[in-house]
Structure 1
């Protein structure tokens, strides 16, 4: 997500996965075993997500009834029971009506308190099950735990003309499908979207097929084969059109999806997106997935790093090259390697903000990194006072500027401490060392200490856990 500074102006464990050798591309469509996760109840937002369900694969068959503003869904979820329990729970918006639930082909009872779908079926640890769910209703976004003006609500949004878009950090995927809505649980996806005649549904991953029915309705089929946290999924439905712009040797083309009347303008706007991607690949290594696209939506002024298909609000700032680079950088920091719990969003937002600043300093008319760091240092203390330390922020202030600018300044100071060659090598290696996995404060900080040969525990504690600014030290 992009940063906003309303007051100042815009400006544990880790899932053990094999180390990817530096310079080698990670698999774009990995073995399904990499969807194994260690789900946990997030300490900041415990009302969503469950430690019982380890989702492995979601198959969503969705139909949008524009006139009624209703979504009809048939979902098949394959999951591993992460622990034994008498029931298991998924998150699903309270406005959605569930008509049937089956587990392994047998109809079962269920309950629907608020946005919980409690399935009355015992599960045994490590057993794998398939649950099918039929549901429909008018999806409703939910209030964001944030003071940001650009993310007052999260989840599935419907415009007055019946178009659809979604952004859902830190949660909100549950507004349009039944899900274990927590960052620690990654899964693969197949999503089919049936849209009204003349419209198309867009999601993340690769478009594997398009069908037009006798009534003119169009069904698009999307395959997202890399393990993905629920907040990194996306959906949009409307009169969308598709074009491409040049990418890199790793990703020869970048897909552009925009509304019919905007596709020409936005294709020109994104014409040099491949240059931003190439710059990131020089810093971070080969792009880690098998496709990359930009989905532009009207109705939002923000932007999200939704995996393989970043979702961008149609505003001059959100569609700018700096923001595109910011969201692209999250494909490594945030998507390939994702925080286990939301208190560690500093890891990806701070790094994306720092990379954005370094990139901007290389562009014509860009601000020098030295000046940017001086600006960040000048308001580091104020941001901590307003929203808390980057790794211990006020949970009502999700996505506030402290996790962007305070954490970005930390990464810059770490570069000064370690020296550029070692710093950039570790920046490149960290997300690849836990490809498709998750990390938290303990694992991230321990890895950097071990790999750098320096005890950085006090450095990270001062920068990430203190409400007093260390910027002058």
Structure 2
């Protein structure tokens, strides 16, 4: 039975991919394309090569916000390659390809066009060494900078873009790689990044170098860097993995509730494994900087939270949300940004499942409460969350309607099939990329049902869906019948911060 299902799922997924395949922005002859082919962000990513590893070696001076770096990219050409692009905004000093100096040019929209001395053969080993120096907070792309200089350092965190302000890359979730991040800072300043802290070495001249390593495939926007005055805790997390949390010095009265929330990370992971499957990464943790951030982001292995999330006390829900992203968004990443519901829908639904687990309100109560919050004529219902449009990926509807959509699917196929589908999905797609259509195909195979109606109604149709008895027995508007789950007001506040588009876009 499992083998037959695996074959049918694979066939359905392949069909969905074939239907949704898109050509990358065309390169000519042996020239790599200047974009992956994502219509939301046409210049993101590059064609002609596949990156396997980034070695990012930096020196940062907090006082001047000067970043000096050498990034070595290990890749393989997917075609004969005589020219290719990198996504990067800081001024480049030199480029070497396979040991030889290469010529290059740099554009205002963060494209570095590289012409190697010799054409690289398809499938060969390609190494690209880029030297650079600049002031990230003063470097703009399309009129904005997403690197935040703080009073004691910097915060390099954002979605869907941040890499181009601190390392050259193939900047799209479809090209994942492993990472080494090594940063020298004045002694007494801390550096936090993804994965495990491999070493910390004092160097001559009053500098200390921090070396971090991520061993699982990671999208470029999920690589992050936080520099400043931090209290760092290292211990053992779920299943004996490294558990690293960091709290900015000067958090004041929110320090206690922040620690009370983040230090429960291993407990949350233990629960989420029961519904989503095995934890996909090699380390765990979280960071709370005191400034430079107004949202939370699911940086791989090390989610980072704005201090505002803890101003009213312990906030376990935001921790659950960002940890759910480790499966949905980090391990299983979008094939194109239009599929963002696969990330935000699951991450918003996860706190409903946690609430049920903690006895603070069932997922059904959360569905009814959320559905009743938005009147029928609310513009909220006009967002097509299955394809929200460029710049609209983090609209509140992608989160709240996204969670409601999952609950509607769950009620349609039943709990057993729903959670079987979720665990099969996270296992089959681990470290890969995915589309909504592939998820639908898997759910149809495992349920034996055609699910066009529920997917079309909740993901691709404007307007407030009419409730069916199998989804909810409540009416279409707020009424005394709708039970308000515990901590509902805090959850609403969380969502307002989580999908603050202007904050996440750096505007």
Q: Which residue of 1 aligns with 2:71?
A: 75
Separation of aligned partners in 1, 2:357 and 2:351: 10
Instruction: Note if 1:155 corresponds to 2:146.
Output: yes
Query: Normalising by structure 1, what TM-score?
Result: 0.83
Separation of aligned partners in 2, 1:395 and 1:380: 25
Instruction: State the number of aligned residues.
Output: 429
Distance 1:71 1:245, change over 3 A: same
The answer as to whether partners of 1:339 and 1:440 remain within 8 angstroms in 2 is: yes
1:309 to 302, 315, 322: 302
Separation of aligned partners in 2, 1:142 and 1:398: 24
CA shift for structure 1 position 97 = 1.3
Q: Which residue of 1 aligns with 2:269?
A: 277
Distance 1:413 1:79, change over 3 A: same
2:97 to 103, 108, 121: 103
For residues 84-95 of structure 1, the aligned pairs below 5 Å read 84-93=80-89
Instruction: Note if 1:267 corresponds to 2:264.
Output: no
Distance 1:14 1:132, change over 3 A: farther
The answer as to whether partners of 2:191 and 2:226 remain within 8 angstroms in 1 is: yes
CA shift for structure 1 position 245 = 6.2
Separation of aligned partners in 1, 2:420 and 2:13: 23
The answer as to whether partners of 1:141 and 1:155 remain within 8 angstroms in 2 is: no
The 3-state SS of whatever aligns with 1:281 is: helix
Q: Which residue of 1 aligns with 2:365?
A: 371
1:290 to 282, 304, 319: 282
For residues 127-150 of structure 1, the C-alpha deviation after alignment (integer angstroms, 9 at most, x for no partner) is 3310000001011388999xxxxx
Distance 1:218 1:389, change over 3 A: same
Instruction: Structure 1: state its 5+ residue gaps.
Output: 1-11, 17-38, 146-151
Separation of aligned partners in 2, 1:15 and 1:243: 47
Separation of aligned partners in 2, 1:245 and 1:125: 44
Distance 1:143 1:403, change over 3 A: farther
The 3-state SS of whatever aligns with 1:309 is: coil
Q: Which residue of 2 aligns with 1:217?
A: 207
Higher RCO structure (Cα 8 Å, ≥6 apart)? 1
For residues 45-98 of structure 1, the C-alpha deviation after alignment (integer angstroms, 9 at most, x for no partner) is 1122113232110000011012221100101001122344542111111xx211
Separation of aligned partners in 2, 1:169 and 1:154: 12
Separation of aligned partners in 1, 2:263 and 2:179: 29
Distance 1:271 1:220, change over 3 A: same
Instruction: Note if 1:201 corresponds to 2:191.
Output: yes
For residues 157-184 of structure 1, the C-alpha deviation after alignment (integer angstroms, 9 at most, x for no partner) is 111x241112221122111110111111
Instruction: Structure 2: state its 5+ residue gaps.
Output: 1-11, 17-34, 469-507
The answer as to whether partners of 2:40 and 2:389 remain within 8 angstroms in 1 is: no
2:107 to 91, 113, 119: 113
Single out whichever of 425-434 and 345-354 deviates more from structure 2.
Answer: 425-434
The answer as to whether partners of 2:47 and 2:84 remain within 8 angstroms in 1 is: no
Instruction: Note if 1:169 corresponds to 2:196.
Output: no
Structure showing the higher helix proportion among its residues: 2
Distance 1:158 1:408, change over 3 A: same
Distance 1:144 1:468, change over 3 A: farther
Q: Which residue of 2 aligns with 1:127?
A: 124
Separation of aligned partners in 2, 1:15 and 1:331: 27
For residues 459-470 of structure 1, the aligned pairs below 5 Å read 459-470=454-465
For residues 208-265 of structure 1, the C-alpha deviation after alignment (integer angstroms, 9 at most, x for no partner) is 01101132311110110100011111101112221146633x2456311122344963
The answer as to whether partners of 1:209 and 1:221 remain within 8 angstroms in 2 is: yes
Separation of aligned partners in 2, 1:278 and 1:179: 34
The answer as to whether partners of 2:332 and 2:432 remain within 8 angstroms in 1 is: yes
For residues 74-126 of structure 1, the C-alpha deviation after alignment (integer angstroms, 9 at most, x for no partner) is 01001122344542111111xx2111100000001000011111101344443
The answer as to whether partners of 1:198 and 1:216 remain within 8 angstroms in 2 is: no
The answer as to whether partners of 2:45 and 2:170 remain within 8 angstroms in 1 is: yes
For residues 289-438 of structure 1, the aligned pairs below 5 Å read 289-297=281-289, 298-317=291-310, 320-363=315-358, 366-378=360-372, 379=374, 388-438=383-433
CA shift for structure 1 position 367 = 4.1
Separation of aligned partners in 1, 2:121 and 2:13: 23
Q: Which residue of 1 aligns with 2:232?
A: 242
CA shift for structure 1 position 154 = 6.8
CA shift for structure 1 position 313 = 1.2
The answer as to whether partners of 1:245 and 1:270 remain within 8 angstroms in 2 is: no
CA shift for structure 1 position 348 = 1.6
Single out whichever of 344-353 and 168-177 deviates more from structure 2.
Answer: 168-177
1:254 to 243, 262, 266: 243
Structure showing the higher strand proportion among its residues: 1
Q: Which residue of 1 aligns with 2:134?
A: 137
Separation of aligned partners in 2, 1:143 and 1:395: 20
CA shift for structure 1 position 341 = 0.7
Separation of aligned partners in 1, 2:382 and 2:195: 35
Instruction: Note if 1:439 corresponds to 2:431.
Output: no
Distance 1:383 1:306, change over 3 A: farther
CA RMSD of aligned residues (A): 2.8
